[in-house]
Amino acid sequence: MIKTISSIRKSLLALPIHVHIRKLQTFSKYNAQAASALEERKKLFYQDDEYADMDWDNLGFALTPADYMYVMKCSKDGEFTKGELSRFGNIQLSPSAGVLNYGQASLLKENGKVLLFRPDHNAVRMQHGAERMLMPSPSVDQFVDAVKQTALANKRWVPPSGKGSLYIRPLLMGTGPVLGLGPAPEYTFIVYASPVGNYFKEGVAALDLYVEEEYARAAPGGSGGVKSITNYAPVLKALSRAKSLGFSDVLYLDSVKKKYLEEASACNVFVVKGRIISTPATNGTILEGITRKSVMEIAGDQGYQVVEKAVHVDEVMDADEVFCTGTAVGVAPVGTITYQDKRVEYETGDESVCQKLRSVLVGIQTGLVEDTKGWVTCIN
């Protein structure tokens, strides 16, 4: 052992002096970092001051950030990780964690041109929603310009014809600091994009819907007519339960009488009986969808009588056809609806009213059908 130690000492002494200096510098660096981390840790948990430097006599209910906050994240499986204290400060947030959001699909025309479908109407809808939520909103020109720039910048992500669409989502969120109940002092408008296929896993196949009686999606005087997270959060529990039972989506009834149809979780609904197409009236609890509005106009052009009214659930169960509309959904046929253990099947297929309306709408959106209404904007 003595020989071993001695030989080690000799080998160390034999090293060039600059190597020793570098080793000492490295050791000193790590030692300083460890000392700094330890000091910061001490500062984190051991505050010697009895009180912070604050005018306690004039303390109102406004945000004055204290020193630290606790952060703990949760994974998709519902398990929270071990949290930790950190200095009060900004957090990272995905753009897709939107508060007030509006879908805007961009499609690729046959000749390679990028088309936007009624972006000005989406802009106006954001303004209406922002007004209800007491938020400022971009002008129509600012909104449309932002969507155009985002679409062009992400042009290579537009799927080939018939393969899907580039889903462009403008969103508006409060990002300024506020503690009490009131508008945020700052807002951020973001537009991002993602290539998408069919919204429902069934693709273009007919949907199986379940009429929900326990949970309400929206109430009169609330924000059901606003495309915000407050519109979608209430549907998650009922939707999860319905999907676990094998249904595609949920049809919600009015929150007062529980007898009149409202809409599905993320789309409007239409009921066909003969040449009459009925859809729930937008009375503040139903989203005024851009696709909904477009399909109503197309149906009127094709000679159907389109009626906006209170649609009783019994009418739905006696209909010839039912279909849903939405930016992400498009025009989707409904194959069955289950209500109070009664299951009704509806007409679907190439000769259905749903398919005829869908063909015209998609044709206009992709440039295959002449746009005589000025709905499509080419941005190349």
DSSP string, 100-162: EE--EEEEE-TTS-EEEESHHHHHHHHHHHHHHTT-----HHHHHHHHHHHHHHTGGGSPPTT
C-alpha 251: how far from chain center: 20
Which of 73, 227, 309, 356 is labelled catalytic? 227
Question: Which of 197, 217, 251 is the C-terminal boundary of a domain?
Answer: 197
Domain match, 105 and 134 both = yes
pLDDT digits (tens, 9 = 90+) for 219-240: 999 888 888 888 888 999 999 9
Residue 379 has pLDDT above 80, yes or no: yes
What are the distances in angstroms from CA 292 to CA 160, 216, 263, 298? Answer: 25, 21, 11, 10
Residue 178 has pLDDT above 80, yes or no: yes
| C-alpha to C-alpha distance for 269 and 278, rounded to whole angstroms | 9
Question: Which of 197, 228, 250 is the C-terminal boundary of a domain?
Answer: 197
Asked if 113 contacts 380 with a C-beta cutoff of 8 angstroms, the reply is: yes
Domain match, 193 and 306 both = no
Domain match, 235 and 172 both = no
Domain match, 190 and 214 both = no
Between 76 and 182, where is the model more confident?
182
In this prediction, residue 175 carries a pLDDT of 85
Here the tokens at position 375 are 């709905």
In this prediction, residue 348 carries a pLDDT of 96
Domain match, 123 and 268 both = no
Domain match, 321 and 354 both = yes
Direct distance between the N- and C-terminal alpha carbons of the chain, in angstroms, rounded to an integer: 80
Q: Which residues contact 22 (CB under 8 A, 6 or more apart)?
A: none
For residue 102, which amino acid is it? Answer: Y
Question: Which of 197, 232, 256 is the C-terminal boundary of a domain?
Answer: 197
In this prediction, residue 32 carries a pLDDT of 61
Domain match, 254 and 114 both = no
| C-alpha to C-alpha distance for 151 and 235, rounded to whole angstroms | 30
In this prediction, residue 9 carries a pLDDT of 45
The boundaries of the domain holding residue 359 are: 207-366
pLDDT digits (tens, 9 = 90+) for 240-293: 999 999 999 999 999 999 999 999 998 999 999 999 999 999 989 998 899 999
Here the tokens at position 5 are 């130690």
Domain match, 238 and 147 both = no
Asked if 376 contacts 365 with a C-beta cutoff of 8 angstroms, the reply is: yes
pLDDT digits (tens, 9 = 90+) for 336-365: 999 998 999 999 999 999 999 999 999 999
Residue 208 has pLDDT above 90, yes or no: yes
In this prediction, residue 140 carries a pLDDT of 93
In this prediction, residue 162 carries a pLDDT of 79
Domain match, 179 and 227 both = no
What pTM was estimated for this model as a whole?
A: 0.81
DSSP for 166-219, please give it: EEEEEEEEE-S---SSS--S-EEEEEEEEEE--SSTTTTSPEEEEEESS--S--
Residue 14 has pLDDT above 60, yes or no: no
Q: Give which of 153, 90, 97, 102 is closest to 130, Cα–Cα.
A: 102
pLDDT digits (tens, 9 = 90+) for 100-157: 667 777 777 777 788 999 999 999 999 999 999 999 999 999 999 999 999 999 989 9
**Looking at the domain assignment, is residue 375 inside a domain?**
no
| C-alpha to C-alpha distance for 104 and 150, rounded to whole angstroms | 11
Q: Which residues contact 152 (CB under 8 A, 6 or more apart)?
A: 114, 379, 380
Is 43 annotated in the active site?
no
**Residue carrying structure tokens 């090293």:** 15
Q: What are phi and psi of 97, to 5 degrees?
A: -90, 60
Residue 1 has pLDDT above 60, yes or no: no
Total residue length of the chain: 380
Here the tokens at position 7 are 């030989």
Domain match, 82 and 211 both = no
Q: Which residues contact 327 (CB under 8 A, 6 or more apart)?
A: 103, 104, 105, 167, 289, 290, 291
260, β-bridge pairs: 312
Here the tokens at position 358 are 């869908």
pLDDT digits (tens, 9 = 90+) for 40-89: 555 555 566 778 888 888 888 888 888 888 888 887 778 888 888 889 88
Residue 35 has pLDDT above 60, yes or no: no
In this prediction, residue 2 carries a pLDDT of 43
Domain match, 343 and 262 both = yes
pLDDT digits (tens, 9 = 90+) for 285-338: 998 899 999 999 999 999 999 999 999 999 999 999 999 999 888 999 999 999
18 — pLDDT class (breaks 50, 70, 90): low
12 — pLDDT class (breaks 50, 70, 90): very low
Domain match, 242 and 181 both = no
